[in-house]
Structure 1
């Protein structure tokens, strides 16, 4: 061997030279080659090397989840701290306030930089759909839609002897669309001009005339209650709009009321602060800023929002196509799962057994409708408008599906509405009554949210049946305190999903039974109490 020849030469420095040469080559060799060389008498323990390698792989797989969880938590904390620090830097650079000025601001209301911070970020589902495993779940829902379509076509072909491609249900629920469009156009134009001009009129004459302040307040309240409050509701009821058309009118009514309130609520403290500081200029936003806010997918007013540099029109077309697909998905769910179940429900006696079976049979369509509403509106619809407006903050929801408490679920399911309720209902309640009344503030927020939800359903369905209000105020409040943020284990996520499934089954079952009962058991001369009393409880007596 080369090493033995070097030793036999006995020349000074030759052995050292050869050994150093070997030491230089040793680190360059792979690990397995060194193990082969170090084996005695040329024997190589391959089994032991393979076993050791498998042990290392198993240990790495065991450490991988903990490592990824730790990295994710540290990364999330780092990003949150970075956003908070950047917001503080922006606020400090834009206006360096002294302690005296901050005290003045606190007596009025917390300044905007202490409220919601808008920053450029993508929607969570857009990030998750880049993972092939999550995208497969999306493909599974598409496959289920194809199964619903095939089922409907085959059943119609067997019953009718031909393929029936009519969409009578969609045509019915979205009927009288010209009335809907005219109503929306009037609501939107009124919301553009009336609140803005009243605010400008008040802000310019606040210092000089107390009468102008009273007039602005009076006409503002009158517009909110009569113009946006009573007008759309009267049109929806008097024109007998179908359910989906009513939903468009009433949801736009609620949205515009919340938008107008946010605009006034954010700008009035700025005018009051400028008056106290004896500023020569009155901070009045431009009409273009207010108009952008009316279309932007947020309910919190700011003069400026983070914007993207370009518009991806392919992304916009994809999101609107997904909204249309979700609409047809909901159509087939009602046709295949709901209508056959509830069409003849009024012919059966109302009893406990039938109610329990109805609830459990309604869980599947109820959960699918829940997913479709979330995906179509909170993800696709809002992202489409955000992309067209280059609105960069796309956090319309968070990972509500991972919630282990109802408190976290309420915060993450619909971030857009939650922000409005938190800043303008919860925090303003504490600012007005004091921080000692947090429970009362939470109860007031639940009551407002439950009342608005029940108002929307009552007008859109044409009857008062406070199932959702009861679930909100009883079970919702109860679970909010029982399943609180201290519940972190996976079993609480299972409990949350189980209760959510049951709640969707109750909502679909009871509202659908009442809908068909009022169609099959009409009253000749109904009184006011007849509109409040559930007709599904006694409809079988009329058959």
Structure 2
């Protein structure tokens, strides 16, 4: 009887302890949720206060004279004339101040460590030693001296030709009796330079010298960037000259304010924006530690991508041409490519849109760091396209979409949107075709077919969480399709080369007909 009472007491004590533990866990959960909510609320309040402080000087400033207002009109466009640059930080820099968000960054670092360890262990087992040669990176970034030489020629030409043509045209326009002829000649020379000097010649040099993929990406992406910068400079300043020419009472404006200084144009060529302004908001000093951190993160992302390809991509696609095509193999290939494709997407976003652009912005004291928005919260592809890459979106919006609306007197909005999608798809496909060395318009088809369709189906009125899930699912699947098909074509081009290909052979994907029985004795990667 005494033993029964003792056992009963012990059971009661255990039950009480369990109840207390459950209550403590519930309280701890509530405390954590309250702490997270308070941090998010404080974060949003700070953003609201900061935006209010940025706008209040414009609202509370004293009235300006007509002369000051005329000068300000040339220095900064009004709300309906162009993009407004304000002082603001990048979104990830603000989010990483929250410990719960920064933990996600730590998880990706842990995954990189596991990739490195797995590669080292496998190489040690296979070779009996540690292999640290990074032959894939050495191959991908080959011929760097030639890359630097081509880039210097492109940069110097962009610095001299567009600015020189504009300066000569703007300086002599008032005194000329043949303004229309001079304008047509200057416009023709500018278009000739854009098409041949900056468009054709770099592409020709890349193809003639057989640069490897990463080196090609450097040249072609810089080619596109400089072409967009030159267009922005001309597009923003020519209307100012024409407007000043109509102002008969302000000769000072014509000579000193309308024509930018070459230092302003030089700053714009390095600034992380594609929209030209004479002046941008600037920070008071440079944080060199921040710059070093961002460049180290870019280097880390580069090695991260290397290990993703070495561990997840090359073993899968190296022998892809040994198998005959069948639906099951294609489906498995696409779904097996989703994980590395998504990792490459995240790495490209973090390395370029966050780290690279922020590093140059910090060195130039460029204060407007909104290079992207919260695209991961998008519930529509329309919002995703606007927030993924704000730098390029601004250029497309102001110089393609709005210019088409201006020329059509705002009558063809759907056509303007179609032109924006077409321009973006063509440029993306051009970059991939030149850099990979073959034409396989997978990205173009995804842009023009599924991208356009989802842009209207998943529009801005879709606000529920389920639409965010659908957006992420579609994005993941698209990355798997891109990585799978382009990787298959890459190896097919090397396993089954054509001796004398015709024009139609260059357009037809090689992976549709390439089926080898054994791997080639020698292949680069």
- The TM tier, using the shorter chain, reads 0.7 to 0.9
1:256 to 207, 226, 233: 226
> Is structure 2 residue 162 aligned with structure 1 residue 195?
yes
Q: 1:493 to 1:96 in 2, by over 3 A?
A: farther
Select the structure of larger CA radius of gyration: 1
1:290 to 249, 262, 265: 265
> Is structure 2 residue 379 aligned with structure 1 residue 404?
yes
Q: Name the CA distance, whole Å, in 1 between partners of 2:66 and 2:385.
A: 34
Asked if the contact 1:205/1:212 (under 8 Å) is kept, the reply is no
Unaligned 5+ runs, structure 1: 1-53
1:452 to 399, 416, 427: 427
Equivalent residue, structure 2, for 1:334: 309
Q: Name the CA distance, whole Å, in 2 between partners of 1:91 and 1:219.
A: 45
- Cα drift, residue 306 of structure 1: 0.7
Q: Name the CA distance, whole Å, in 2 between partners of 1:95 and 1:236.
A: 53
- Cα drift, residue 462 of structure 1: 0.3
- Cα drift, residue 84 of structure 1: 4.9
2:331 to 329, 344, 356: 356
TM-score (norm 1): 0.84
Misfit runs of 4+, over 3 Å: 54-98, 110-114
Q: Name the CA distance, whole Å, in 2 between partners of 1:338 and 1:353.
A: 18
Asked if the contact 2:433/2:440 (under 8 Å) is kept, the reply is yes
Equivalent residue, structure 2, for 1:424: 399
Equivalent residue, structure 2, for 1:156: 123
Equivalent residue, structure 2, for 1:172: 139
Residue-by-residue CA offset, 1:411-460 (whole Å, 9 max, x unaligned): 11111111111111111110011212111111100000000000000000
Q: 1:222 to 1:62 in 2, by over 3 A?
A: closer
Equivalent residue, structure 1, for 2:184: 214
- Cα drift, residue 56 of structure 1: 11
Asked if the contact 1:350/1:538 (under 8 Å) is kept, the reply is no
Asked if the contact 2:324/2:515 (under 8 Å) is kept, the reply is yes
Q: How does 1:264-343 map to 2 (within 5 A)?
A: 264-278=234-248, 279-281=250-252, 282=254, 283-343=258-318
Equivalent residue, structure 1, for 2:365: 390
TM-score (norm 2): 0.86
Q: Name the CA distance, whole Å, in 2 between partners of 1:150 and 1:513.
A: 28
Asked if the contact 1:91/1:113 (under 8 Å) is kept, the reply is no
Equivalent residue, structure 1, for 2:8: none
- Cα drift, residue 162 of structure 1: 1.1
Q: 1:326 to 1:75 in 2, by over 3 A?
A: closer
> Is structure 2 residue 205 aligned with structure 1 residue 235?
yes
- Cα drift, residue 96 of structure 1: 7.7
**Secondary structure of the residue that 1:258 maps to in structure 2?**
helix
Asked if the contact 2:271/2:360 (under 8 Å) is kept, the reply is yes
Equivalent residue, structure 1, for 2:92: 125
**Secondary structure of the residue that 1:395 maps to in structure 2?**
coil
Equivalent residue, structure 2, for 1:508: 483
Higher mean C-alpha displacement, 487-496 vs 76-85: 76-85
Q: Name the CA distance, whole Å, in 2 between partners of 1:305 and 1:62.
A: 40
Q: 1:494 to 1:286 in 2, by over 3 A?
A: same
Q: Name the CA distance, whole Å, in 2 between partners of 1:337 and 1:62.
A: 37
